[in-house]
Structure 1
């Protein structure tokens, strides 16, 4: 059974987060995580200053299934099954020890050793600590708990001490854990109620919603399920609108912008699901700016199918239409920001907007064509005659049929900051004559100056230059 529980699906980062859940539930304000590289003898220690446990409480905490998942819990409790400490630890190591000290009490400790259980065929906890310095460390505190992992076969495997390459692999594990904890517990870290240190360095919170950025859009908050489920959609700024260039890479996290779009599900401010469309939509490059915060209480665990690892959750069927509606709105807004590339435009893609390119469906396949009704294009086509007209139509068709869509999509995904805006780095002196000519042509056709200005503000690419349109004169 113990060997089976090792394969329940934890990764190193989710396992460590599950242990820290217990620290938070115990009222800890500080957690110290130490990951020590020693090849196969590498260890991981998680120490907190929470309430601690006496001998009987520790024995109960080490028992598998120490609580019923349906029992009533404190509203701030992050646990559910009474398995997290054991399954998270077993998933990464073959022996783990828990030392604890309640306020005014003595240090007590117990150890699960899978090899010992296999040898003795008995469910026996050991009263053993392989590193007695941990006892001294905890005895110096008023209270707290230490979880100590060793024989970390799942993590270390064949990595060998003395190998720089293998030590670098271990270092990547450390960075993965740092980012995951900074993300999962960012709301605790932000309000100052919790500090987490990894190998002595204090973690800074990773807020996926960039709430401190002035250009982040906050869509209306909604309360569902009799007010128990709170949803707050955010549309992140285009990278051109970020207050600092480094924010683009930071906001992308370890998995990148595309992987972080979607719903973020929190239970008691603890992040469970980090960026997922929950089977309602597909991940799309042009929707990567949409991130939606969902807050749940711990009384809805069953309805939301929260698993032991606290890494998966799905909305009940009664809420899926609402989630689809809210997700559709957020994705639509994200597409608008993405396509505008962060520029403040004088249109909202409403009726009257005139794009240069159009998307069309031909024989079930998507094609992009030049808008023949765009005033500039239409003017050129109207003036062309005879063979010149035929050649011009042929050239436009050739351009439409040979757009390198796969290359554009790949380049945009891999190097979005290198994609130029329309007429980027072109001086106003070069653009103004073109806009002025259009203005005069429309005026000559009998339109008023105000009408022509509004027409140009709704016409691509002139909508990128409202400051020039304001300068137009008869």
Structure 2
């Protein structure tokens, strides 16, 4: 049966279909990571012209109670607050703005908190505020108006951090990630892990702003009852191209990829220094994560690594990083995700990369080959000076395995050494299973090692790395001599004693 195809769908009118209030639940379930959500709020501060941003964790003794993001930007009036708290609220974004969709504040905040309060003041208006409480939002989009007295009091609280005669405070309550019970040092451990990771994330994605003299981000922790400040430090820029010496003296080079729908796109191609241990190189993730394209939009990093279907990542390209400033009007060639944590590229960009050249006619494909050669040559030089060992296996974090195999030559055709937790006699911290090529750790001491954190296949990376370094030689011999057996017993005794001290809290009593 054949019919004439209609290239446009005919309509017979329209109907207004407002979103159901449950849309707020969907908005809060977009998979925002904690670091990504905070970065989204800082983007708003930058758009408001802020020079100083404070990320403030508030605690009441051992219990974390709230998180605030405070800035000294131009602030918002009552009308501006309504727009900011409206899902998809219409506002005019300047060409250089970091905001795009009008959902970041709401979706980022409600992904991690049961309530988000927005309080602001300008040069000409008094302090005012709005609050989304999740249970009221899903019951009918009811947004609370904050009492003016409280709004002014909160602004006054930050009058000297640094100058709050205008600016904005975003307050999160009921933060889902906060430890439910703060005893046993859980809160301190959570803050240490979270703040370190957050500082690296902000330092990386906002490094071009942090490199300026007139912009600062501070992360602080304060006890709301005593006023004690436990932590107060500035976030440092983490430039993913901040190597001390290029891995290849002919780089960086600029290649031009002609993308038909947007025109010429400049590719700043870099080759990192081999075997680098500085944070600018190592803190971005595994060797698979850190290579590839680094896309920037208005000086804000929106993707750190990845080849965007141009090619598969591989260890030999771990030194290759290419900076790309997205064109102002990207069309369908470059589509930024709502969370500003990745870029989707069209096939025309991939095709353009295959033809991209620099001013001397060198191709982008040759650049990848040069990065590959640089990596292989460096590995050959280091591996000739070190004795080959049995490779690491399951139970050891992939990033650690990657570092070990990168730094030390591996004995080919040997079973890798796995590490797992298992119930053992409590007089033993570990056992060696030669037949299974496995280091077995005593399950009884696992909670002490993890400090209350949830365990997994690749948990306790520091301990497992040390155990591998300490014991890999045992698996390279058919049997242990008397001296080696004595060493194994010595290590066993010391580790059991240390684990018991950790369980009993002895380590924290002095």
Q: TM-score, normalised by structure 2?
A: 0.62
SS state at 1:300 partner? coil
Within-5 A mapping of 1:375-454? 413-415=402-404, 418-419=407-408
User: Aligned pair 1:123/2:142, yes or no?
Assistant: yes
User: Aligned pair 1:220/2:254, yes or no?
Assistant: yes
- Which structure's residues are more often strand, by fraction? 2
Corresponding residue for residue 100 of structure 2: 80
| 1:266 Cα offset (Å) | 0.8
User: Is the contact made by 2:73 and 2:168 (CA closer than 8 Å) also made in structure 1?
Assistant: yes
* C-alpha distance in 2 between matches for 1:413 and 1:270: 29
Q: How many residue pairs are counted as aligned between the two chains?
A: 352
- Which structure's residues are more often helix, by fraction? 1
Corresponding residue for residue 464 of structure 1: none
User: Is the contact made by 1:29 and 1:194 (CA closer than 8 Å) also made in structure 2?
Assistant: yes
Corresponding residue for residue 168 of structure 1: 189
Match of 1:322 among 352, 356, 361: 352
User: Is the contact made by 2:155 and 2:169 (CA closer than 8 Å) also made in structure 1?
Assistant: no
User: Is the contact made by 1:306 and 1:314 (CA closer than 8 Å) also made in structure 2?
Assistant: yes
Match of 1:43 among 47, 59, 66: 66
User: Is the contact made by 1:48 and 1:145 (CA closer than 8 Å) also made in structure 2?
Assistant: yes
Match of 1:209 among 241, 244, 250: 241
- Mean Cα displacement is larger for which, 103-112 or 219-228? 219-228
* CA RMSD after TM alignment: 3.2
| 1:125 Cα offset (Å) | 2.9
| 1:306 Cα offset (Å) | 1.1
Q: Deviations over 1:365-417 (max 9, x none)?
A: xxxxxxxxxxxxxxxxxxxxxxxxxxxxxxxxxxxxxx999779999822267
Corresponding residue for residue 175 of structure 2: 152
Q: TM-score, normalised by structure 1?
A: 0.67
Corresponding residue for residue 295 of structure 1: 325
* C-alpha distance in 1 between matches for 2:366 and 2:390: 26
Corresponding residue for residue 237 of structure 1: 273
| 1:202 Cα offset (Å) | 0.9
Match of 1:12 among 25, 34, 54: 34
* C-alpha distance in 2 between matches for 1:112 and 1:141: 23
- Mean Cα displacement is larger for which, 87-96 or 214-223? 214-223
Unaligned segments of structure 2, at least 5 residues: 1-22, 221-231, 357-363, 410-510
| Superposed structure 1 runs of 4+ greater than 6 Å apart | 129-132, 403-412
Corresponding residue for residue 177 of structure 1: 198
Within-5 A mapping of 1:19-30? 19-30=41-52
Corresponding residue for residue 115 of structure 2: 95
| 1:133 Cα offset (Å) | 4.6
Higher RCO structure (Cα 8 Å, ≥6 apart)? 1
Q: Deviations over 1:131-164 (max 9, x none)?
A: 87523135662311111111112x12x5312231
The higher radius of gyration belongs to 1
| 1:169 Cα offset (Å) | 2.7
Corresponding residue for residue 470 of structure 1: none
SS state at 1:266 partner? strand
* C-alpha distance in 1 between matches for 2:134 and 2:44: 22
SS state at 2:345 partner? coil
Corresponding residue for residue 32 of structure 1: 54
